[in-house]
């Protein structure tokens, strides 16, 4: 027996696009923001505000009359960037791992020793204030120019109670020339002391055998 044709009812009304205009208030707000932003970019002088960014203003960044040794070098920033991870903000290092710079006669004595260590790095053993370290200090000679190393050296020699004479760029240049051609880190204090010569340091500590 044939079935009667089925009547189908759509369950929902057919969809139709709704007209939902963006509220005028929103358009107005967005426009106002755009206008403000463009105005800000055009009118603001962010490069004149040392409070933004790394605090250096154009005056500090401009090449100074004093050349590379000018005021633009910030030794404490260099220390934070290059040395602090190991030798710590306190200059105390980490016991048994990274030797202290505070009070260390390697730092406060004749500048040639710490200069050579910073220029070329050091592996092998070094005695610092009675503790023997056997770590690896990276070389920084290629990373900084003479004026920067001089400022950094002067900084570590005058921080944390250290009170030694400043080091100038000419001293760094002389140290570079003295060890020019060297590509390896110093093999411990022994090699460095031998390089610096027997007459070298009244200041350099005893090396433990
Ligand atoms: C990756 C860690 C590390 C960094 C970064 C580092 N040092 Fe060292 N430093 C050492 C270690 C380790 C020694 C000991 C080397 C050894 O045992 O042969 C040392 C030794 C020294 C010494 C001689 C010993 C002493 O404590 O007086 C001086 C001076 C020194 N570093 C200065 C610096 C300066 C300045 C910087 C930044 C430019 C710096 N170091 C960055 C790890 C580091």
Residue-wise pLDDT for 14-59, tens only, equals 777 778 888 899 999 999 999 999 998 888 776 666 666 666 666 6
Owner of token pair 């030794």: 75
Q: Could you give the CA distance from residue 50 to residue 53 in angstroms, rounded to a whole number?
A: 7
pLDDT 10s digits, 162-196: 999 999 999 999 999 999 989 999 999 999 998 98
Report the pLDDT averaged over residues 125-138.
93
Owner of token pair 């950094």: 152
- Please name the residue whose Cα sits nearest to atom 5 of ligand 1: 83
Q: In this structure, how many other beta carbons lie within 10 angstroms of the beta carbon of residue 83?
A: 20
Atom number in ligand 1 closest to CA 113: 29
Residue 138 CA to ligand 1 center (angstroms) comes to 8
> What are the structure tokens assigned to 180, written together?
């020019």
CB 156 within 8 Å of CB 106: no
Q: What percent of the chain has pLDDT over 90?
A: 61
């Amino acid at each position: 027996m044939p079935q009667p044709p089925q009547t189908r009812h759509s369950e929902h009304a057919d969809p139709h696009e709704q007209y939902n205009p963006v509220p005028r208030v929103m358009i107005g707000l967005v426009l106002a923001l755009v206008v403000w932003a463009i105005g800000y970019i055009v009118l603001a002088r962010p490069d004149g505000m040392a409070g933004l960014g790394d605090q250096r203003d154009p005056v500090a960044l401009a090449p100074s009359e004093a050349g590379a040794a000018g005021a633009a070098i910030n030794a404490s920033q260099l220390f934070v960037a290059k040395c602090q991870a190991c030798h710590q903000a306190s200059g105390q290092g980490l016991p048994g791992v990274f030797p202290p710079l505070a009070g260390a006669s390697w730092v406060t004595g004749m500048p040639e020793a710490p200069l050579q260590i910073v220029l070329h790095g050091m592996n092998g053993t070094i005695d610092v204030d009675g503790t023997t370290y056997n770590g690896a200090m990276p070389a920084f000679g290629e990373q900084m120019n003479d004026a920067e190393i001089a400022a950094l050296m002067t900084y570590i020699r005058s921080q944390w109670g250290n009170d030694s004479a400043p080091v100038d760029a000419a001293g760094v240049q002389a140290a570079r020339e003295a060890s020019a051609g060297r590509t390896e880190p110093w093999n411990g204090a022994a090699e460095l002391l031998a390089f610096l010569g027997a007459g070298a340091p009244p200041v350099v500590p005893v090396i433990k055998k």
